[in-house]
Amino acid sequence: MTAREKDFFRETWARYLGYANEVGESFRAVVPVGVVRASYAVAFAYVLADTADKSWKMYQTGARPSRVLHETGDALIWQTLASVVVPGLVINRICAFSQKQLKTRYGHIPRTPRNLATVAIGLVSIPFIIHPIDNSVTLLMNLTYRKLVD
């Protein structure tokens, strides 16, 4: 009996590449917008690499082309939502809310420390949002796309 092969893109350090945009969003208050956009490029490169990996593995099994296409779509949609869109939006909103609250409630705090506090809040939030978002996207996929294609 052989052990199940580890999914490189979802069960190793490589999964963290999908969170590059959350780090970029956390730093939005202190870096040029080009840096934030570059973080999204890294995250989307990860999404495309995982999608290609899943597609290639399905293709190598000799699956029907329609099944390979379904697997490709599943990986692309899941990764785009769980790694880029939803967490990027959540961290963006957490940081925007934090920045606004720090400015209105604690207006006496100078801009630089306020911006650094926003970065810290964004970074600290990342570990708390990962699993709920992954699980929610999986549920969404199970209720929609996966029902339609299976």
pLDDT in tens, 55-102: 999 999 999 999 999 999 999 999 999 999 999 999 999 999 999 999
Residue 74 domain-assigned (yes or no): yes
In the prediction, which pLDDT does 1 show?
Answer: 41
User: What secondary structure letter does DSSP report for 108?
Assistant: T
pTM of this prediction?
Answer: 0.89
Q: What is the mean pLDDT of the chain?
A: 93
Query: What distance in Å separates the CA atoms of residue 70 and residue 145, rounded to the nearest whole number?
Result: 9
Task: Name the one residue in this structure whose structure tokens are 């306020």.
Answer: 114
State mean pLDDT over 1-24: 84
Query: What distance in Å separates the CA atoms of residue 90 and residue 132, rounded to the nearest whole number?
Result: 12
Query: What distance in Å separates the CA atoms of residue 82 and residue 5, rounded to the nearest whole number?
Result: 22
**For the chain, counts of helices (H) and of strands (E):** 7, 0
In the prediction, which pLDDT does 3 show?
Answer: 66
Residue 2 domain-assigned (yes or no): no
For residue 58, the enclosing domain spans 8-149
Q: What is the CA radius of gyration of the chain?
A: 18
User: What secondary structure letter does DSSP report for 98?
Assistant: H
Residue 36 domain-assigned (yes or no): yes
Residue 1 domain-assigned (yes or no): no
In the prediction, which pLDDT does 15 show?
Answer: 84
The confidence band for 106, taking pLDDT boundaries of 50, 70 and 90, is confident
Q: How many domains does the chain have?
A: 1
Residue 42 domain-assigned (yes or no): yes
Query: What distance in Å separates the CA atoms of residue 9 and residue 47, rounded to the nearest whole number?
Result: 9
